[in-house]
Amino acid sequence: MTHTASPTDAAYVAVDWGTSSFRLWLVGRDGAALAERRSGEGMTTAARTGFAEVLQSHLAAISAPEGLPVLICGMAGAKQGWVEAGYLDTPAALSAIPAAAVRVPGVEADIRILPGLAQRDATAPDVIRGEETQLLGAAADLGSGNHLVCMPGTHSKWVRLSGGKVEGFSTFMTGELFDAVAKNTILSHAIADAGAIAPDNTAFRAAVTRMVANPALATSQLFSVRAGSLIAGLSPEDAKARLSGTLIGLEIAGALSLAAKDTPVMLVASGSLGTLYGQALAAAGLSPTVIDADTAVRTGLAVGAKALWSL
């Protein structure tokens, strides 16, 4: 996707560089996106073809002025990425994230990569890379006080914010477990050929509710997907919904177990995953505020760029 830029107005370049995706925005002095690029050249690809080369090709494609500062978040800062950007340890003030960005050495332009967050806790060690920037963007809309921020995905992140500080966070392997269980266990027969889960699927909501009530039964509820298919005529659609609702409900129960009752919840998500989590949170009795994940990461990069370069 390419737009034509008006190079004279450009202030900086923002990049969200994930494991398998690359997104770049040329941002104007007024904060508007003058051009945007999206591609599949994530960390995995760029580690082979060269990070500098990938970035340069996209800058050239939009005729970006030479020498603009570039702010990057995501897996480009991982150990296997371009330049390792390390982690800020929790508790961490969100405002400390931009200053901890690491500069890419050996290039003339000011290219910086934002750090991740690390929770160095013996019983719950955890890491974030990429979502800290969504968080920086989403928090711009939050007041002080305590907040629980849900960022669903392959590895869902739930962050406990107090004022502008990350007190702690938890990663739930929900999306990756869904794939592993759906493809590589006996449940694959029960959900074969099922389509997308309908937003109003009652089997999904019931599974979420059961997990919030008794999360200890999670792996038994998973087997009930198989047994329900064998002896109770559970349809492939409802089987898939039950599997998804069990894993998402377990995640919600876990996240709530670490926060004070009635802590306000914010959902940072996009598309069908956002719809599904909205349904799940409602089934769990929660009324989250919702922020689009794409908007959040762009806002987070803008907050970072302003802090670093007084733009």
In b/e form, how buried is each residue of 236-253, taking b as 16+ CB within 10 angstroms? ebbbbbbbbbbbbbbbbb
Of 93 and 124, which CB lies nearer to its own copies in the complex structure? 124
Report, in Å, the least distance between residue 212 CB and its own copies: 9
Determine which residue in the list 227, 272, 282, 311 makes contact with its own copies, applying CB under 8 A.
227
Contact residues for 227 (Cβ-Cβ < 8 A; gap 6+)? none
Rounded CA separation 236/209 (Å): 20
The H or E element spanning position 227 is: helix 218-231
Rounded CA separation 139/152 (Å): 16
Of 212 and 269, which CB lies nearer to its own copies in the complex structure? 212
Amino acid found at 152: P
**Total site size for its own copies, rule CB under 8 A:** 52
311 DSSP β-pair partners: none
Residue 216 interacts with its own copies (CB under 8 A)? yes
Residue 18 interacts with its own copies (CB under 8 A)? no
3 state SS of 171: strand
Of 2 and 220, which CB lies nearer to its own copies in the complex structure? 220
Structure tokens that stand for 141 in this block: 């809309």
Report, in Å, the least distance between residue 14 CB and its own copies: 26
Rounded CA separation 97/11 (Å): 20
Q: Which of residues 183-212 bind its own copies (CB under 8 A)?
A: 183-186, 206, 210
Report, in Å, the least distance between residue 300 CB and its own copies: 22
Of 178 and 309, which CB lies nearer to its own copies in the complex structure? 178
DSSP one-letter string for 251-309: HHHHHHHTS-TT--EEEE--HHHHHHHHHHHHHTT---EEE-HHHHHHHHHHHHHHHHH
Determine which residue in the list 84, 110, 140, 155 makes contact with its own copies, applying CB under 8 A.
155
Stretch that binds its own copies, among 250-258, 276-284, 286-294, 297-305 (CB under 8 A): 250-258
Determine which residue in the list 1, 60, 232, 260 makes contact with its own copies, applying CB under 8 A.
232
Determine which residue in the list 88, 159, 197, 256 makes contact with its own copies, applying CB under 8 A.
256
Rounded CA separation 131/248 (Å): 19
Determine which residue in the list 28, 215, 288, 304 makes contact with its own copies, applying CB under 8 A.
215
Rounded CA separation 142/139 (Å): 5
Report, in Å, the least distance between residue 278 CB and its own copies: 20
Stretch that binds its own copies, among 2-10, 65-73, 254-262, 297-305 (CB under 8 A): 254-262
C-alpha separations of 11 from 114, 210, 238, 305 in Å: 18, 51, 50, 9
Amino acid found at 300: G
Residue 181 interacts with its own copies (CB under 8 A)? yes
Q: Which of residues 84-113 bind its own copies (CB under 8 A)?
A: 87
Report, in Å, the least distance between residue 201 CB and its own copies: 16
Chain residues that interact with its own copies, rule: CB under 8 A: 87, 118-120, 122-127, 155, 170-174, 176-177, 179-181, 183-186, 206, 210, 214-224, 227-228, 230-232, 234, 247, 250-251, 253-254, 256-258
